[in-house]
Chain A
């Protein structure tokens, strides 16, 4: 079970979180034209990297904030967590 540091609450067990997918995907702006290709990329196309992956988790059984987690998909090592408004490099 992962041990995830919520930027608001501190270190908490994975049980308290729910996974939310790739955090680097950006939704096309609302009310703006978008090409089918860009839309399809947003809705469907995801990389499935082995190694570092920046992803979203929601602290559903805690503060209910969505957060960013940089995790190694092979080893589960977590390098960094951040608020969604912050950058992970």
Chain B
């Protein structure tokens, strides 16, 4: 196996290590340090994909992030990734790459028929064609567009890789390790600043690796290596390659995407694949360089056409020739360096320069080396379908709008240069408005909005001398302000070639009767004629032109197309570019993987898991858990083959007949202390709190200021100035913030402290007619009689030697108690209860039985207190004091809250006493009425009443109390059910509440 386009010596690759990979099934090799692109070009492969819309053959165009075409599906390290930039992805052993957007193969693609039907695919084609009729959208148009527009295929396999997030703080973040970035980082590091230097590519140095320059008598590459080595040795500097700073967010936070191990053949289990860095920088140097832009000409998307700097990079970094018969098509001097590099490697280029004959250092050098230079010339159209074979070139007239002479020359590649565009993406993201710089026909950063400073080519300075000077100066000055240290650094001597002026020429005219496609945006297949159509159809704003034509909207963000698009619009509109303006740059600068964004927050780590101290017991005893916020709560304890329905019925019935215990640790608990605690509670709750005796609990209701119920729970007076508040599991955090708000902001004069104690206590409810008997066994020395410990009573006592709190409160409607012990004693308490409770028929019960018990008693919970109900809606107006003021009281007088027909809580039972009513069902008068069928209410909670052995539901219904005795339908389109129901009282069992007091 030989590599026909690999040079013998050049390049920075490791020729001692071959790496084998496959492309479209064919086994090939490259060397360590190759990208997929450089390895394929070395093997003479240029056709790698088909274009988005017309399925035209496409090859490589760039050598890095600017690449618009070469997006491959790549399988490596056991996973498959779509849309991988072949020019960025490093070769790794066993990698397998395939072309995208083609069927059945890249060489023979059926979709290419679109190319011959291109008159039917003009700008706005999708908008115009797929608009009508609407019913066609989902079944016909959308699948068609999806298939036609397919990029790669996302893997449906579970991603086994590890991704990490990292938070970092620094004085100076430098984004890019070209000359200006290295100089900035170096100067700042010497001032003692904490510096992070980020380089997107594997190799540091940027253009220093490819430009023919010297600094202090070292080659650019050697100087870069020297500086990097020194930076790496400094403890205050972090140097990162393969790391793209892709987003500039508020308050100088930048986000960086690090490819940690994609290039590694083997890695340890815990090495992440990629890492996302959130970097808060005091100052940021944007040394992101510039990207060469093309000149637009006919069939300029043919494989074998490259940016001229990319062709140079392939030679100098990878030792690869992009062709052996190159045409260099340029409007400026930089492409001459590419020509000279070809010449150095014994390849004879022809230079077509759109400028009139003139002289400059580089032109003179090219002339002296005998290179064929043709001034006032340009490429009109490239010939060849899957690869460039020849080009029709023309000699331009003085006005450069027609040709004096046209001829065809043979070539196997065309290297094009239309001058340089500063990479201002990050500056723009930071809020910088950008300004148009006439001298370079491009935008550069304007007044800074955050702490960002653009240097070097990113700021429009294209000479090495200037870049280094700006780098050293800015790095030094910015860091000196932070570290208050300034170390003098002498700016090195630079030897570089001077460029002459570039030609403000960006698009080749066409001879009469010729109409080849001239692409502006390769990735989205937007041609000159598409932009002309958009303007002809009346689109004026550049933002509209962009969306109509999709110019610059592909994953390459128009890096090589934006300015040419703007030039075209401004030419047609007869405006200057700054009047046309530019579209907005948005993060991410390059596509990043979803895995990186997600980081470690997957599976079990998606959110924290809160377990009660009794969790292990529940697990061992076949609990089926349910998520309650972050908590895991037993939903039911499965015995044998029981279903949820059977188990919860058994558990609830046992509470009604014997006794059951329930883990209630998850209830929110707030400790309230201070001389004004009673006054505070009196303002927070709707009912009266000034006279609650020590050792008593009270049920309380709290509202928002708009009168809507916020939460309910019991609060117990532990001692003179000490209260223990409970909240619902769901509202615990909100209630604490709510209390803190009033104490800190509204009533700071109240001397009260609140603190969450949810985690400090383990709680178990003992409920059922036999609960007192069981309690007396648990506390043999305590008088637990109804007189000594009445309903809403409270006692502190030792529970088999550990301190505990006993509350006589009930959620189930039965005689019940809640015992709290310190969390560490939770398991001990639970196991003791199970042991002691045996003789009373005690069984544990889960949240499903708990719901059943409270629903049939008509106790409201989350589904009723849903942020739309006021106290009287849910029969809690008895708890609303008329005598005192409290949070939300003034809102309760609102007219809408007091109309007769206002919604009220009711109970529902099915007429057939069998069909359970789905939660969320709508209550309607006539199940067959024409839509929209007037909705009279909704079903909030449903259960199987164990007391009456039939279904029962709670509902919130318009004019509810007056509906009792009437019949309606509960309709659930979701479950496709309609059940005839009768409205009854919401208190289905023990309406007088005798049991809790028994």
**What is the distance, in angstroms, from A50's C-beta to the closest C-beta of chain B?**
15
Complex interface: chain A residues within 8 A of B449 (CB): 75
Say if the beta carbon of B705 comes within 8 Å of chain A: yes
Complex interface: chain B residues within 8 A of A56 (CB): 745
* Contact-size category for B: 20 to 34
Which residue of chain A has its CB nearest to the CB of B744? A66
Among candidates A30, A31, A58, A75, residue contacting B741 with C-beta atoms closer than 8 Å: A58
Say if the beta carbon of A88 comes within 8 Å of chain B: no
When A42-B705, A43-B705 are in contact, do A84 and B250 touch as well, CB less than 8 Å?
Answer: no
Residue pair B740, A3 in contact (C-beta under 8 Å) = no
Task: Tell me the complex Cα distance, A1–B890, Å.
Answer: 38
Among candidates B253, B741, B884, B890, residue contacting A66 with C-beta atoms closer than 8 Å: B741
Say if the beta carbon of A82 comes within 8 Å of chain B: no
Complex interface: chain A residues within 8 A of B250 (CB): 1-3, 76
Complex interface: chain A residues within 8 A of B278 (CB): 1
Among candidates A3, A44, A64, residue contacting B251 with C-beta atoms closer than 8 Å: A3
Task: Tell me the complex Cα distance, A1–B587, Å.
Answer: 14
Residue pair B251, A39 in contact (C-beta under 8 Å) = no
Task: Tell me the complex Cα distance, A39–B891, Å.
Answer: 8
Which residue of chain A has its CB nearest to the CB of B741? A66
Complex interface: chain B residues within 8 A of A64 (CB): 740
**What is the distance, in angstroms, from A80's C-beta to the closest C-beta of chain B?**
14
Task: Tell me the complex Cα distance, A43–B894, Å.
Answer: 12
Task: Tell me the complex Cα distance, A30–B889, Å.
Answer: 10
**What is the distance, in angstroms, from B208's C-beta to the closest C-beta of chain A?**
34
When A18-B737, A65-B744 are in contact, do A75 and B431 touch as well, CB less than 8 Å?
Answer: yes
Which residue of chain A has its CB nearest to the CB of B249? A1
Complex interface: chain A residues within 8 A of B511 (CB): none
Say if the beta carbon of B119 comes within 8 Å of chain A: no
Q: How many residues of A contact B (CB 8 A)?
A: 27
- Name, among A30, A31, A42, the residue most crowded by chain B CB atoms within 10 Å (CB to CB): A30
Among candidates B249, B737, B746, residue contacting A58 with C-beta atoms closer than 8 Å: B737
A interface footprint on B880-916 (CB within 8 Å = 1, 0 otherwise): 0000111000110100000000000000000000000
Which residue of chain B has its CB nearest to the CB of A28? B890
- Name, among A28, A31, A64, the residue most crowded by chain B CB atoms within 10 Å (CB to CB): A64
Residue pair A78, B745 in contact (C-beta under 8 Å) = no
Complex interface: chain B residues within 8 A of A36 (CB): 893
Complex interface: chain A residues within 8 A of B748 (CB): 84-85
Task: Tell me the complex Cα distance, A30–B676, Å.
Answer: 15
Residue pair A43, B683 in contact (C-beta under 8 Å) = no
Say if the beta carbon of B485 comes within 8 Å of chain A: no
Q: How many A-B residue pairs have CB under 8 A?
A: 55
Residue pair B890, A34 in contact (C-beta under 8 Å) = yes
Say if the beta carbon of B280 comes within 8 Å of chain A: yes
Residue pair A66, B280 in contact (C-beta under 8 Å) = no
Say if the beta carbon of B529 comes within 8 Å of chain A: no
Task: Tell me the complex Cα distance, A43–B250, Å.
Answer: 31
Say if the beta carbon of B136 comes within 8 Å of chain A: no
Task: Tell me the complex Cα distance, A42–B884, Å.
Answer: 20
Residue pair A66, B740 in contact (C-beta under 8 Å) = yes
Residue pair B744, A1 in contact (C-beta under 8 Å) = no
Residue pair B891, A1 in contact (C-beta under 8 Å) = no
Complex interface: chain B residues within 8 A of A13 (CB): 167, 280
Say if the beta carbon of B866 comes within 8 Å of chain A: no
Task: Tell me the complex Cα distance, A23–B402, Å.
Answer: 68
Say if the beta carbon of B161 comes within 8 Å of chain A: no
When A43-B706, A60-B737, A64-B740 are in contact, do A76 and B251 touch as well, CB less than 8 Å?
Answer: yes
Say if the beta carbon of B925 comes within 8 Å of chain A: no
Which residue of chain B has its CB nearest to the CB of A64? B740
Residue pair A78, B251 in contact (C-beta under 8 Å) = yes
**What is the distance, in angstroms, from A24's C-beta to the closest C-beta of chain B?**
12
Task: Tell me the complex Cα distance, A18–B736, Å.
Answer: 13
Say if the beta carbon of B477 comes within 8 Å of chain A: no
Which residue of chain B has its CB nearest to the CB of A35? B890
**What is the distance, in angstroms, from A41's C-beta to the closest C-beta of chain B?**
12
B positions within 8 Å CB-CB of A: 167, 249-253, 278, 280, 431, 449, 683, 705-706, 733, 737, 740-741, 744-748, 884-886, 890-891, 893
A-B contact pairs, 5 of them (CB 8 A): A1-B251, A27-B746, A28-B890, A43-B705, A44-B706
Q: 5 shortest A-B CB distances, which residue pairs? A: A3-B251, A39-B890, A76-B250, A31-B885, A66-B744
Other than A1-B251, A43-B706, give 12 A-B pairs with Cβ distance below 8 A: A1-B278, A3-B250, A13-B167, A30-B683, A30-B747, A39-B891, A42-B705, A58-B740, A65-B744, A66-B741, A66-B745, A75-B449
